[in-house]
């Protein structure tokens, strides 16, 4: 349903026919993503206090038998201008909960994956005043997954976030040039492109594993191999400032992770005014590799231990 005008929807239900949806859902190309439906247009409002979803277990069981099952995203918003989505409960989605393209949104998110994820090709984006719980943070990527594809995420401002019980606060994920795999159905590497002019600022974090995570070795645990085949997708002009709060005990005493595959492919990552404290009381200790330490100003040097070590991550 696209190119609609002045439409109100209050109830949507999908059938449990998994064979039908694998054959007829809308293909989004990226990472085998599909959607049950695509909603867009002008002044389209979705509301009603009801619940969308609740049949995810069928898909989870199917995926457990075959990891190549195409599980649809619960809610596809494609080109929504001036509309709204409100007063809905999204539960047990087969895949991601929402795919938002050519649109904008402000919301409160309680989930188990990215709170917001900027996929190729996302530019000129503003995300602000969000509350995220239980998520993977506000993520750029993952990018550079497909050989021959050019992925661009550029000119993004993430401002005033409240992040709790999450794996990450701010995260940038780029695949290396070498082949890597997170799982049987999620593998890649070798794509090109750029991440440029990304601003994360004004974060309050509570019980977050990594306040800040930047990696060009996504899917590749062997950091040595990642360095031998640096990413073709560059990261530059990243500004991270005003992060305050507490990290979890997951990586205590480390509270951040910035690992580039080479200094040429990853530059001008700037951190200012960070004060994130681990459960052991150590503040602002990060694991870093191939970064310019001169741009890490605004951090208390007496509490700083930027360790140039290779770690399994």
- 31 in Cβ contact with 186 (< 8 Å): yes
Nearest 5°: phi and psi at 32? 60, 25
Beta-sheet strands, E only, within 248-282: 256-259, 269-277
Query: The sheet that has 34-35: what strands, in order across it?
Result: 26-27, 34-35, 72-73
Nearest 5°: phi and psi at 156? -120, 130
Please list the active-site residues: 113, 136
What's the rounded Cα separation, in Å, for the pair 117 and 5? 28
Per-residue exposure over 279-298, b if at least 16 CB sit within 10 Å of its own CB, e if not: eeebbbbbbbbbbeeeebee
CB atoms within 10 A of CB 51: 14
User: Which residues on adjacent β-strands are paired with residue 208?
Assistant: 247
């Amino acid at each position: 349903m696209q190119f609609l005008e002045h439409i109100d929807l209050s109830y949507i239900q999908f059938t449990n026919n998994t064979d039908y949806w694998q054959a007829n859902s809308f293909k989004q190309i990226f990472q085998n993503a599909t959607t049950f439906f695509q909603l867009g247009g002008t002044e389209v409002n979705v509301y009603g206090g009801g619940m969308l979803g609740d049949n995810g277990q069928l898909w989870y069981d199917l995926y457990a038998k075959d990891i190549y099952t195409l599980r649809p995203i619960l809610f596809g918003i494609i080109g929504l201008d001036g509309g709204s989505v409100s007063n809905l409960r999204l539960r047990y989605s087969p895949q991601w909960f929402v795919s938002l393209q050519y649109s904008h949104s402000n919301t409160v998110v309680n989930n188990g994956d990215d709170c917001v994820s900027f996929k190729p090709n996302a530019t000129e984006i503003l995300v602000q005043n969000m509350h995220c719980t239980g998520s993977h943070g506000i993520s750029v990527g993952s990018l550079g997954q497909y050989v021959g594809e050019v992925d661009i995420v550029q000119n993004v401002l993430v401002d005033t976030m409240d992040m709790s019980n999450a794996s990450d606060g701010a995260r940038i994920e780029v695949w290396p040039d070498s082949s890597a795999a997170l799982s049987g159905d999620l593998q890649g590497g070798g794509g090109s492109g750029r991440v440029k002019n990304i601003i994360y600022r004004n974060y309050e974090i509570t019980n977050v594993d990594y306040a800040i995570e930047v990696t060009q070795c996504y899917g590749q645990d062997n950091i040595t191999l990642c360095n031998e085949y640096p990413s073709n997708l560059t990261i530059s002009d990243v500004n991270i400032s005003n992060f305050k709060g507490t990290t979890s005990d997951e990586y205590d005493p480390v509270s951040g992770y910035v690992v580039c595959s080479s200094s040429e492919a990853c530059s001008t990552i700037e951190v200012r005014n960070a004060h994130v404290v681990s459960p052991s009381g150590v503040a602002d200790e990060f694991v870093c590799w191939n970064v310019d330490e001169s741009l890490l100003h605004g951090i208390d040097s007496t509490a700083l231990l930027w360790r140039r070590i290779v770690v399994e991550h």
